[in-house]
């Protein structure tokens, strides 16, 4: 699943820059003209946002699967809902 696409554009751009810099925060700091601690702080914010996005998706999937287990939803309906996540 492509959860990065659900992040704000600012975070997506940071991830692109991070990958293109070979995961090197010092390189990113030099390329962007900001301090290393600022780049590190931005990375921490992206990490938190991505973890929140993953947790949100897992909760929804868990809720759907729980509904199937309790007989409140059939498997086909659950599969369609999960694919939309």
DSSP 62-81: HHHHHHHHTTSS-HHHHHHH
- The average confidence (pLDDT) of the chain is 85
In 3-state terms the chain splits into helix, strand, coil percentages (rounded to 5) of 80, 0, 20
CATH number at residue 67: 1.10.10
Q: How many domains does the chain have?
A: 1
> Residue 55 in contact with residue 85, Cβ under 8 Å?
no
pLDDT at 50 over 80: yes
Identify the residue with better confidence: 40 or 58: 40
Residue with the two structure tokens 């599969």: 79
Q: How far apart are CA 25 and CA 59, in angstroms?
A: 32
Question: Which domain range does residue 63 map to?
Answer: 3-84
């Amino acid at each position: 699943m492509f959860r990065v696409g659900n992040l704000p554009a600012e975070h997506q751009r940071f991830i692109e820059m991070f990958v293109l810099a070979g995961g090197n925060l010092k390189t990113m700091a030099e390329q962007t003209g900001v301090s290393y601690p600022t780049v590190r702080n931005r990375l921490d914010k992206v990490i938190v946002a991505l973890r929140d996005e993953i947790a949100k998706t897992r909760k929804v999937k868990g809720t759907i699967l729980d509904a199937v287990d309790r007989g409140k939803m059939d498997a086909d309906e659950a599969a369609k809902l999960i694919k939309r996540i």
